[in-house]
């Protein structure tokens, strides 16, 4: 298939996944703070700071906003077009990519993205606050799920399908690491706080962000044990948002895209994916905590970046437009 | 209540369905008339609504760009078909084949020996000053010596019912997709009527087009790679581009998907570079290759003309065909036919005055309010004055333009275009129509039986173009005469 | 005269350029008064140029460079023999009405109508009338006087106009370089219905003006029935002689661009042009 078309399918998929994940992140954390009346101002600020830190956009945020509060963070992450990672910016980008390849996707897929885009254009932070943020985020998640479902139901299992899935799982894996990272950035509790109400509530929020609370409870006991949540989200091979699951998908689709049929991977990207998968199959949570959870998550992010970049360069590369040579006067 | 009212006004125009009395139905429309008489209006409306909905869902649209956001519109479709008996069609077909044969020879001559200019049949100044005469293409050898692979010639009928050629479209003629979609719609709306009539099929267009494209392929492989080159989603005819590409089963590409290496053209795919042999290009010459034509074009492929020159890729239509569909050159086509074929034209032109000729210019300037004046290089009905329907100010403005730049204008006596019964506000009313058949020049020249009949939906209007309030009808060429 | 010409163009990019596609018009023509003895095109990075002849009989070399490069050098070296002045016929005197009625004039319609750089606006016509206020004469005489008029009333000043300056703008400024002088001269001739074409080439300069850059040169040729194309250089107020080497002809600069093309990547940081025209006894002068 044309590189340009693969490129658009890949990014359409990534941007929708990204928008959904940010919606989750914001929603759960808003809910968390509502639930937890007992937090003082300093802890609140830390909490919101940590969310910004986990997105990696702290510098950009500081350029435009003075302090991290529920309002400013919602504004920044949901509506601010100056932030290329905001929900609005992502949906706009997803729609643009979808439009470029409109004849490749089904009418329903296009209509779903288009409707989400129109809905977002009609909202702003004040509306969201007035109407109840929960509604707003629910709408976004629903649209993303609908889109994925329609894709599953109406898109042929062809090369295009591989790029869509590859993009989705790369994005999802990356966002899962960031959801986990939020917990890191909140100052580590001292010994007496581990297992305490705040700590537990924070882990619960992390699981909720990934819609993983029920799945976690089925897999473990109903009590939320520290680090058990992290273990679940990193190593579970059956929960679709866990790192292990995502990287297994990435490995599979990557090999199909790069036509790697041999047992030993040939390209750097395939090798990196295979190694990461092996780590996720064999490491233990204790080893990761020893190494440092934050450091581990950062490494995973870098690996995912490299894999994505190499696949883009190899298969989806179509260069920018030409410039004309300067002329010489006579 | 049937649609055929007792007071159908045929007016002073040639009506496709009715004799001048407005009551007697022409033989080849009889079956249709019978069906419409027995069909309740509500039933007809139901079918109409179903067709419209189908078009909307299938996305049979075109885009109008009058602001930065394009609005997509359905090209309005009228359920009453235009019917042509086989003996009428035979003459049209012969005339169109003759015309494209002569025009192709003309193009070859213009880009090689220019004998017709040296013999002073066509004034050299007209060619050299023509906007679409591509000097860069001089002495270029084109595959199979064919310049025009796809042609859309617009035909009209005068008050006596004679078919006349209004203009040729030799660059990127569009509308074939609507012709195909209209046929699908009619089959669904009136299945029994359709089969009882014996209508010649148009569904073969995609196959015929692909065959004529494959005919051009250089001798590289026995599975030549044919692609359709489009300017992209922002082009008003993008629907047609994707439609035709799908019909033929060929990839649709934009300029940035192609790259030239070593004078060969390649597509950028996820599996690497794949060579291209034939390009059905729906991009105008000007934007095709920034190295040779407009340097600011983002739509083209640098080096494409070099690759065509080296014989590694074939372009359909060829570069430089626009010089022969220039509205001023149009007036010379009868002479062109005689010069290359030694024959009288089977299909006549509309009588044309050339502002570049002093006597004609005087006539035009003095009688502008009675004439239809056209700018030589505008398309889509723009740059045109319909004298009898215009204000004094509009006529004055045009007169000044003609005086300032005579080479750029022609004028014609207004033709009383034929009319066809069209569904308007619950009944059938006569509306002006034209016809665009599609001619394919491959190993043989074929004319698809039918074509796109365009109808001016506004009452009294003569403008049939989609962007200005036109619609279309299905065109039925019968196996027999009724 | 035996002349050796070097024309080197160097494009330096702010970064890497790639997928560079180019056409160059650098090879001197062969005609009744000039023979191109040898022509060599050197490209850096290396590429193999192909060539073809365009509508005006100019030779165009074209090439492409796919891989990344930070610099592009196009270097043309030619050896040309021009017919000595004494062996050139003089231009006959032909009246304007004879020109208007000549059979061939029709074939040169593009040379007396508007072109991209020379739109025939009324200011050019007025200027031509003023220049010939002393009276009308034969075609060649008028062409020369129009050229002289520009020479006398325009200032040769580099860096005041640009490569895209058109004739009517240069006319308002009343200054420019030889490209502008040629365009204005074409405008004046064409306003009077005289077919005239742009000539790009080189000039062996035995008397250089102060601040005159050594670059490729531009002048014009006017059509005189019974003779053909007669050349005049408005920058130096004289007919072109054996010191002039023709490379390409066309309606205006747009038809003869020495180098044009497109590429992908970083913008041009600098454009450097080196031209050397030297007299030679048949050997190439070292670059």
Clarify whether residues B310 and B281 are in a common domain.
yes
Q: Point out the residue among B242, B269, B298 whose CB comes nearest to the CB of A103.
A: B242
- Mean pLDDT across the stretch A40-47? 71
B201-231 pLDDT, tens digit per residue, is 999 999 999 999 999 999 999 999 999 999 9
> Is it the case that residue A264 has pLDDT exceeding 80?
yes
In a domain, residue B449? The reply is: no
Name the packing angle between helices A87-100 and A3-35 (round to 10°).
160
In a domain, residue C247? The reply is: no
Clarify whether residues B327 and B356 are in a common domain.
no
Residue B356 backbone dihedrals phi, psi, to 5 degrees: -70, -25
Residue A329 backbone dihedrals phi, psi, to 5 degrees: -80, 155
Q: State how far the Cα of A251 lies from the Cα of C120, in Å rounded to an integer.
A: 67
Clarify whether residues B317 and B371 are in a common domain.
no
Clarify whether residues B187 and B314 are in a common domain.
yes
Question: Are A220 and A229 a contacting pair, CB within 8 Å?
Answer: no
Residue recorded with tokens 């034969």: C138
pLDDT-derived band at B153 (thresholds 50, 70, 90) equals very high
Give the CATH number for residue C224: 3.10.620.30
Q: Measure CA of the first residue to CA of the last residue in chain C; give whole Å.
A: 20
Sorted by sequence, the CB contacts under 8 Å of residue A108 that are 6+ apart come out as A150, A154
Domain that holds residue B200: 87-341
Give the CATH number for residue B374: 3.30.1490.270
> Is it the case that residue C209 has pLDDT exceeding 70?
no
In a domain, residue C252? The reply is: no
| A contacts of B290 (beta carbons < 8 Å) | 322, 324
Clarify whether residues C131 and C209 are in a common domain.
yes
Report the chain A residue with the minimal C-alpha distance to residue C202.
A330
Clarify whether residues C77 and C193 are in a common domain.
no
Q: State how far the Cα of A136 lies from the Cα of A141, in Å rounded to an integer.
A: 9
Q: Point out the residue among C22, C162, C273 whose CB comes nearest to the CB of A325.
A: C22
Clarify whether residues C220 and C265 are in a common domain.
no
A108-149 pLDDT, tens digit per residue, is 898 899 889 888 888 877 787 777 788 888 889 999 999 999
Name the helix (H) or strand (E) containing A214. helix A213-219
Q: Which of C197, C229, C220 is nearest to C31 (CA)?
A: C229
Clarify whether residues B337 and B364 are in a common domain.
no
Clarify whether residues C79 and C168 are in a common domain.
no
Peptide bond into C45 cis (omega under 30): yes
Q: Which of B279, B314, B341 is the last residue of a domain?
A: B341
Say what the pTM is. 0.87
Report the chain A residue with the minimal C-alpha distance to residue B298.
A321
Q: Which residues pair with C250 in a beta bridge?
A: C198
Q: State how far the Cα of A104 lies from the Cα of C139, in Å rounded to an integer.
A: 65
Residue recorded with tokens 């325009």: C154
Q: State how far the Cα of C256 lies from the Cα of C27, in Å rounded to an integer.
A: 11
Q: What is the DSSP letter of A2?
A: B
Clarify whether residues B190 and B270 are in a common domain.
yes
C160-187 pLDDT, tens digit per residue, is 999 999 999 999 999 999 999 999 999 9
Q: Decide the pairing of beta strands B470-477 and B77-84.
A: parallel
Give the CATH number for residue B318: 3.40.50.11290
Clarify whether residues B281 and B393 are in a common domain.
no
Q: Could you give the number of structural domains in chain C? A: 2
Q: State how far the Cα of B245 lies from the Cα of B280, in Å rounded to an integer.
A: 9
| B contacts of C22 (beta carbons < 8 Å) | 291
At C141 the three-state DSSP class reads: helix
| A contacts of C260 (beta carbons < 8 Å) | 324-325, 327
| B contacts of A322 (beta carbons < 8 Å) | 290, 298, 302
Clarify whether residues B307 and B376 are in a common domain.
no
What pLDDT shows up at residue A187?
46
In a domain, residue B20? The reply is: no
Average predicted confidence (pLDDT) for chain B: 89
Please give the C-alpha separations between residue B35 and each of B4, B29, B201, B252, B349, in angstroms, as whole numbers.
10, 10, 21, 42, 36
Q: Which of C23, C80, C14, C89 is nearest to C262 (CA)?
A: C23
Are B302 and C260 inside 8 Å of each other by CB?
A: no
Contacting chains of C (3 CB pairs or more, <8 Å) are A, B
Clarify whether residues C98 and C232 are in a common domain.
yes
In a domain, residue B438? The reply is: no
In a domain, residue B465? The reply is: no
In A146-156, which positions are buried (b, 16+ CB within 10 angstroms) versus exposed (e)? bbbebbeeebe
Long-range contacts of B250-253 (CB under 8 A, 24+ apart): B250/B210, B250/B226, B250/B280, B251/A2, B251/B227, B252/A103, B252/B227, B252/B228, B253/A2, B253/B227, B253/B228, B253/B229
Domain that holds residue C47: 2-83+257-279
What pLDDT shows up at residue B68?
45
Q: Which residues pair with C219 in a beta bridge?
A: C199
Are A3 and B233 inside 8 Å of each other by CB?
A: no
Long-range contacts of B65-70 (CB under 8 A, 24+ apart): B65/B234, B65/B236, B70/B234, B70/B236
Q: State how far the Cα of A250 lies from the Cα of A254, in Å rounded to an integer.
A: 6
> Is it the case that residue A273 has pLDDT exceeding 90?
yes
Clarify whether residues C76 and C115 are in a common domain.
no
pLDDT-derived band at A208 (thresholds 50, 70, 90) equals confident
Peptide bond into B317 cis (omega under 30): yes
Q: What ipTM was reported for this prediction?
A: 0.85
Chain B residues touching chain C at CB-CB below 8 Å: 117, 120, 123-125, 128-129, 135-136, 138-139, 259-263, 290-292, 295, 302-303, 306, 309-310, 407
| C contacts of A328 (beta carbons < 8 Å) | 9, 163, 215-216, 258-259, 271, 273
Burial class (CB in 10 A: 0-12, 13-18, 19+), C271: middle
> Does C235 contact chain A (CB < 8 Å)?
no
Clarify whether residues B201 and B286 are in a common domain.
yes
Q: Which residues pair with B25 in a beta bridge?
A: B18
| B contacts of C262 (beta carbons < 8 Å) | 290-291, 295, 302
In a domain, residue C245? The reply is: no
Are C267 and A323 inside 8 Å of each other by CB?
A: yes
Q: Which of C46, C51, C97, C89 is nearest to C69 (CA)?
A: C46
Q: State how far the Cα of B288 lies from the Cα of B296, in Å rounded to an integer.
A: 11
Please give the C-alpha separations between residue B459 and each of B456, B464, C111, C207, C230, in angstroms, as whole numbers.
8, 12, 47, 75, 61
At C92 the three-state DSSP class reads: coil
In a domain, residue B447? The reply is: no
Question: Are C4 and C280 a contacting pair, CB within 8 Å?
Answer: yes
Report the chain B residue with the minimal C-alpha distance to residue A325.
B295
Report the chain A residue with the minimal C-alpha distance to residue B258.
A318
Clarify whether residues B327 and B372 are in a common domain.
no
Question: Are B428 and B391 a contacting pair, CB within 8 Å?
Answer: no
- Mean pLDDT across the stretch B403-417? 86
Contacting chains of B (3 CB pairs or more, <8 Å) are A, C
Question: Are C200 and A314 a contacting pair, CB within 8 Å?
Answer: no
> Does B63 contact chain A (CB < 8 Å)?
no
Q: State how far the Cα of A147 lies from the Cα of A153, in Å rounded to an integer.
A: 10
Q: Which of B306, B323, B341 is the last residue of a domain?
A: B341
* C-alpha torsion sign, points B158, B162, B163, B167: negative
Are A323 and C264 inside 8 Å of each other by CB?
A: yes
C228-273 pLDDT, tens digit per residue, is 999 999 999 999 999 999 999 999 999 999 999 999 888 877 889 9
B39-77 pLDDT, tens digit per residue, is 888 889 899 999 988 887 777 777 665 544 456 677 889
* Closest CA of chain B from A101, distance in Å: 9
Clarify whether residues C94 and C145 are in a common domain.
yes
- Mean pLDDT across the stretch B113-134? 89
Would you say how long chain C is, in residues?
Answer: 287
Clarify whether residues B141 and B102 are in a common domain.
yes
The residue of C261, C266, C272 whose CB has the most chain A CBs within 10 angstroms, and thus the best one to mutate to test that interface, is C261
Clarify whether residues C108 and C46 are in a common domain.
no
Question: Are C58 and C249 a contacting pair, CB within 8 Å?
Answer: yes
Clarify whether residues B99 and B240 are in a common domain.
yes
Percentage of chain C surpassing pLDDT 90? Answer: 75
> Is it the case that residue C151 has pLDDT exceeding 80?
yes
Give the CATH number for residue C264: 2.60.40.2250
* Closest CA of chain A from B254, distance in Å: 9
Q: Could you give the number of structural domains in chain B? A: 2
Q: State how far the Cα of C286 lies from the Cα of B95, in Å rounded to an integer.
A: 65
């Amino acid at each position: 298939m044309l590189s340009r078309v693969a490129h658009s399918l890949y990014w359409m998929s990534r941007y929708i996944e990204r928008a959904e994940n940010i919606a989750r992140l914001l929603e759960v954390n808003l809910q968390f703070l509502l639930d937890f009346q007992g937090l003082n101002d300093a802890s609140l600020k830390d909490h919101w700071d940590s969310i910004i830190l986990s997105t990696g956009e702290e510098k950009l945020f500081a350029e435009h906003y003075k302090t991290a509060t529920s309002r400013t963070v919602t504004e920044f992450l949901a509506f601010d077009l100056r932030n290329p990672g905001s929900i609005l910016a992502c949906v706009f980008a997803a729609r643009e990519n979808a439009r470029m390849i409109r004849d490749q996707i089904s009418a329903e897929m296009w209509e779903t993205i288009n409707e989400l885009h129109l809905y977002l254009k009609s909202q702003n932070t004040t509306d969201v606050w007035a109407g109840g943020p929960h509604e707003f985020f629910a709408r976004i998640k629903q649209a993303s799920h609908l889109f994925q479902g329609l894709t599953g139901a109406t898109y042929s299992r062809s090369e295009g399908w591989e790029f869509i899935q590859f993009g989705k799982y790369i994005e999802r894996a990356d966002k899962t690491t960031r959801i986990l990272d939020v917990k890191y950035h909140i100052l580590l509790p001292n010994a007496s706080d581990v297992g305490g109400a705040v700590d537990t509530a924070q882990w619960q929020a992390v699981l909720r962000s990934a819609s993983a609370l029920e799945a976690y409870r089925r897999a473990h006991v109903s009590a939320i044990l520290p680090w058990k949540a992290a273990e679940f989200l990193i190593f579970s091979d059956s929960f679709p948002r866990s790192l292990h699951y995502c990287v297994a998908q990435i490995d599979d689709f990557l090999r199909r895209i790069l036509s790697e049929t041999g047992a030993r991977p040939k390209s750097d990207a395939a090798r990196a994916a295979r190694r990461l998968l092996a780590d996720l199959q064999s490491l233990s949570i204790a080893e990761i905590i020893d190494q440092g959870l934050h450091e581990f998550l950062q490494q995973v992010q870098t690996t995912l970046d490299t894999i994505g970049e190499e696949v883009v360069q190899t298969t989806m590369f179509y260069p920018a437009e030409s410039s004309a040579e300067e002329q010489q006067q006579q | 209540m049937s649609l055929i009212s007792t007071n159908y006004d045929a007016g002073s125009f040639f009506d496709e369905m009715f004799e001048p009395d407005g009551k007697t139905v022409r033989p080849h429309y009889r079956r249709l008339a019978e069906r419409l008489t027995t069909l309740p209006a509500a039933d007809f409306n139901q079918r109409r609504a179903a067709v419209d909905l189908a078009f909307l869902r299938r996305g049979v649209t075109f885009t109008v760009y009058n602001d930065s956001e394009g609005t997509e519109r359905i090209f309005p479709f009228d359920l009453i078909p235009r019917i042509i008996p086989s003996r009428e069609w035979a003459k049209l077909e012969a005339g169109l084949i003759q015309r494209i044969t002569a025009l192709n020879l003309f193009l070859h001559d213009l880009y090689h020996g220019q004998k017709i200019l040296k013999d002073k049949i066509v004034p050299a100044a007209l060619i050299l000053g023509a906007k679409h005469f591509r000097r860069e293409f001089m002495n270029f050898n084109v595959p199979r010596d064919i310049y025009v692979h796809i042609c859309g010639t617009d035909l009209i009928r005068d008050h006596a019912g004679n078919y006349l050629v209004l203009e040729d479209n030799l660059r990127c003629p569009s509308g074939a997709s609507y012709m195909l979609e209209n046929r699908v719609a009619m089959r669904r709306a009136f299945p029994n009527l359709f089969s009882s009539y014996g209508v010649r099929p148009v569904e073969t267009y995609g196959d015929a087009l692909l065959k004529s494209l494959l005919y051009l392929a250089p001798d590289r492989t026995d599975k030549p790679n044919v692609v359709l080159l489009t300017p992209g989603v922002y082009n008003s005819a993008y629907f047609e581009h994707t439609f035709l590409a799908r019909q033929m089963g060929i990839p649709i590409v934009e300029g940035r998907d192609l790259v030239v290496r070593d004078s060969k053209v390649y597509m950028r795919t996820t599996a690497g570079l794949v060579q291209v042999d034939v390009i059905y290009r729906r991009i105008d010459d000007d934007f095709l290759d920034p190295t040779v034509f407009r340097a600011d074009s983002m739509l083209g492929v640098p080096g494409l003309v070099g690759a065509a020159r080296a014989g590694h890729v074939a372009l359909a239509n060829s570069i430089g065909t626009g010089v022969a569909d220039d509205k001023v050159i149009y007036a010379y086509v009868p002479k062109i036919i005689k010069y290359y074929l030694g024959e009288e034209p089977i299909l006549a032109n509309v009588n044309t005055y050339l502002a570049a000729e002093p006597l004609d210019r005087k006539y035009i300037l003095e009688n502008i309010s009675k004439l239809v004046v056209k700018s030589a290089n505008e398309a889509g009905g723009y740059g045109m004055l319909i004298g009898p329907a215009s204000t004094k100010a509009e006529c004055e403005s045009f007169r000044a333009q003609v005086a300032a730049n005579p080479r750029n204008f022609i004028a014609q006596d207004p033709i009383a275009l034929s009319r066809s019964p069209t569904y308007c506000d619950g009944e059938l009313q006569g509306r002006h129509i034209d016809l665009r058949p599609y001619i394919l020049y491959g190993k043989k020249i074929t004319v698809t039986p039918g074509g796109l009949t365009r109808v001016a939906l506004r009452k009294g209007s003569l403008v049939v173009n989609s962007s200005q309030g036109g619609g279309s009808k299905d065109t039925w060429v019968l196996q027999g005469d009724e | 005269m035996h002349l050796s010409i070097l024309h080197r163009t160097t494009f330096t990019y702010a970064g890497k350029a790639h997928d560079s596609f180019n056409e160059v018009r650098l090879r001197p023509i062969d005609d009744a008064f000039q023979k191109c003895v040898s022509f060599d095109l050197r490209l850096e990075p290396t590429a193999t140029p192909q060539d073809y002849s365009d509508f005006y009989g100019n030779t165009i070399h074209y090439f492409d460079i796919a891989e990344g490069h930070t610099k592009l050098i196009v270097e043309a070296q030619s050896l040309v023999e021009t017919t000595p002045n004494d062996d050139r016929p003089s231009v006959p005197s032909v009246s304007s009405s004879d020109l208007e009625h000549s059979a061939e004039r029709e074939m040169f319609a593009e040379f007396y109508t508007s072109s991209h750089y020379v739109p025939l606006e009324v200011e050019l016509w007025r200027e031509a009338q003023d220049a010939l206020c002393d009276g009308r004469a034969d075609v060649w005489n008028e062409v020369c006087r129009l050229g002289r008029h520009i020479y006398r009333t325009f200032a040769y000043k580099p860096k005041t106009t640009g490569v895209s300056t058109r004739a009517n703008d240069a006319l308002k400024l009343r200054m420019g370089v030889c490209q502008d002088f040629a365009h204005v001269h074409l405008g004046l001739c064409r306003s009077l219905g005289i077919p005239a074409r742009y000539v790009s080439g080189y000039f062996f300069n035995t008397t250089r003006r102060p601040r005159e850059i050594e670059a490729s040169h531009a002048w014009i040729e006017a059509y005189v029935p019974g003779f053909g194309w007669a050349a005049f250089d408005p920058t130096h107020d004289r007919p072109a002689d054996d010191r002039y080497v023709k490379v390409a002809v066309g309606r205006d600069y747009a038809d003869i661009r020495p180098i044009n093309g497109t590429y992908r990547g970083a913008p041009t940081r600098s454009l450097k042009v080196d031209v050397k025209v030297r007299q030679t006894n048949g050997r190439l002068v070292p670059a």
